[in-house]
């Protein structure tokens, strides 16, 4: 791909993002990225006997409400929604409400540039949505987007820079770049959000020692720590969470169990997963909720649909000021038409997640009630 000029100065974009989230390293204002060096660790079972406890802090009053979704692609030029995306999230907007509303932005908000797919390949997919579509994310209620995933760099550094600038223009925060911790203040509660994926343009999910250190750093500077991960093999054959490293098309997609347990040991209060394009089970680990995959939330003319690939959910959770779980529910959604998100009247997500949680985690599985409430 030929190098092309960056659309915006990165510093300007970060200043705009800082209006909503304060991006800090070690609690003091610094550039958004800091490289965390660590020797690679062999993947294996999570070490649960030497948990890293959070620093002793006085739990602030109040609670934090979180709404989270799986993968989002609002179309890829030239295959865009007929009204330019204006009504794209209308069917689910009422449930995209919270102090933190987090989604995985699967692709770029950009124009021009060279695609990673070059002249084209039947096995290569690159997503490019117009930068103006960031306004529809804002209108829908999102407050922060994860950019740690396999499509965040589909159009190289220019595509990434345009994406971050488009989010900044709408005063939307982002997380997931190397060394990045995003912070938000909600009343007396300080929240940290950290994104991971197994790619060089993201904070590496496969480097578990570095992940531990970054999450421990977040926990030292915040009351509530949210970790989001883009991990795991893809498709209807991969609905179950299995121990060990998962691979897909020759890629190491991480050891999702070892990673999730490690970041909870290091201070994460909730782990929210996406990437497999299907719903997966949920686990209680040391009192913290791990949602291994929320599936395809929105994907206009880009995802294979049908069956489990069309079913998803909005995870709504309330955490106390000490990070402890207060309440939670799973709002069942589905992709309709060409891939527009809508509420699912059949409420399929409840039964799917209930069954997978029990089968994969036994007594640690999250109980999903008939109306979607999450309990131990």
Tokens of 18: 């800082």
Peptide bond into 107 cis (omega under 30): no
Residue 247 pLDDT greater than 60, yes or no = yes
Most confident segment among 15-29, 33-47, 88-102: 88-102
- pTM given for the model: 0.87
Q: Where along the chain do its domains lie?
A: 53-114+125-375
What's the distance, CA 54 to chain centroid?
23
Dihedral sign, CA of 292, 296, 298, 303?
Answer: positive
Residue 230 pLDDT greater than 80, yes or no = yes
C-beta of residue 21 within 8 angstroms of C-beta of residue 29: no
- Least confident interval from 12-26, 59-73, 303-317, 358-372: 12-26
pLDDT in the model for residue 31:
31
C-alpha gyration radius of the chain: 19
Residue 252 pLDDT greater than 80, yes or no = yes
Better-predicted residue by pLDDT, 123 or 161: 161
Percent of the chain clearing pLDDT 90 (strictly above)? 81
Tokens of 286: 């040391």
Q: State the distance between the two ends of the chain, measured CA to CA, in whole angstroms.
A: 50
Q: Across the chain, what does the average pLDDT equal? A: 88
Q: How far apart are CA 234 and CA 350, in angstroms?
A: 21
Q: How confident is the model at residue 59 (pLDDT cuts 50, 70, 90)?
A: confident
Element (H, E) at 351: helix 348-361
Percent of the chain clearing pLDDT 70 (strictly above)? 84
Q: How far apart are CA 26 and CA 15, in angstroms?
A: 18
Domain over 53-114+125-375 is classified CATH 3.40.50.10890: no
Per-residue pLDDT of 357-370, as tens digits, reads 999 999 999 999 99
Element (H, E) at 230: strand 224-230
C-beta of residue 319 within 8 angstroms of C-beta of residue 335: no
Distances in Å between the alpha carbon of 76 and those of 102, 128, 177, 300? Answer: 21, 5, 23, 8
Element (H, E) at 160: helix 156-169
| Strand, helix or coil for residue 319 | strand
Annotate 51-118 with DSSP letters as a single string.
--PPPP-PPPSSEEEEEEEEEEE--BTTB--TTTTTTTTTTTGGG--SSEEEEEE-SEE--SS--TTT
Tokens of 291: 């949602």
Taking residue 135's Cβ as centre, other Cβ atoms within 10 Å add up to: 16
Q: How confident is the model at residue 58 (pLDDT cuts 50, 70, 90)?
A: confident
C-beta of residue 366 within 8 angstroms of C-beta of residue 375: yes
pLDDT in the model for residue 118:
81
Tokens of 374: 């999450």
pLDDT in the model for residue 121:
63
Per-residue pLDDT of 263-293, as tens digits, reads 999 999 999 999 999 999 999 999 999 999 9
Better-predicted residue by pLDDT, 41 or 197: 197
- Least confident interval from 16-30, 51-65, 173-187, 199-213: 16-30
Parallel/antiparallel/unpaired status of strands 144-146 and 173-175: parallel
């Amino acid at each position: 791909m030929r190098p092309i000029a960056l659309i915006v100065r990165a510093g300007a974009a970060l200043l705009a993002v800082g209006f909503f989230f304060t991006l800090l390293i070690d609690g003091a204002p610094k550039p958004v990225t800091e490289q965390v060096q660590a020797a690679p660790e062999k993947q294996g079972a999570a070490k649960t006997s030497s948990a890293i406890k959070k620093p002793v802090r006085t739990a602030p009053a109040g609670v934090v409400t979180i709404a989270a979704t799986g993968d989002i692609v609002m179309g890829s030029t030239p295959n865009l929604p007929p009204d330019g995306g204006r009504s794209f999230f209308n069917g689910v907007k009422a449930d995209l409400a919270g102090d933190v509303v987090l989604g995985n932005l699967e692709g770029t908000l950009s124009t021009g540039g060279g695609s990673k797919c070059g002249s084209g390949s039947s096995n290569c997919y690159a997503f490019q949505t117009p930068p103006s579509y960031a306004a529809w994310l804002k209108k829908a209620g999102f407050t922060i987007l994860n950019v740690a995933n396999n499509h965040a760099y589909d159009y190289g550094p220019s595509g990434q820079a345009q994406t971050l600038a488009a989010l900044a223009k709408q005063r939307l925060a982002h997380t997931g770049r190397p060394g990045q911790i995003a912070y938000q203040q909600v009343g007396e509660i300080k929240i940290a959000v950290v994104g991971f994926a197994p790619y060089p343009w993201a904070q590496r999910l496969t480097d578990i020692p570095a992940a531990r250190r970054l999450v421990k750093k977040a926990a030292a500077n915040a009351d509530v720590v949210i970790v989001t991960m883009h991990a795991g093999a893809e498709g209807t054959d991969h609905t179950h969470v299995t121990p060990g490293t998962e691979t897909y098309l020759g890629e190491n997609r991480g050891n999702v169990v070892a990673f999730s347990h490690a970041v909870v040991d290091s201070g994460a209060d909730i782990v929210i997963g996406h990437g497999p394009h299907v719903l997966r089970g949920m686990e209680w680990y040391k009192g913290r909720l791990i949602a291994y995959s929320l599936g395809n939330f929105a994907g206009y003319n880009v995802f294979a649909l049908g069956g489990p690939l069309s079913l998803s959910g909005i995870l709504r959770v309330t955490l106390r000021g000490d990070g402890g779980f207060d309440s939670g529910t799973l709002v069942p959604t589905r992709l309709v038409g060409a891939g527009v998100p809508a509420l699912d009247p059949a409420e399929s997500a409840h039964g799917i997640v209930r069954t997978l949680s029990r089968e994969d985690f036994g007594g640690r599985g999250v109980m999903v009630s008939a109306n979607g409430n999450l309990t131990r």
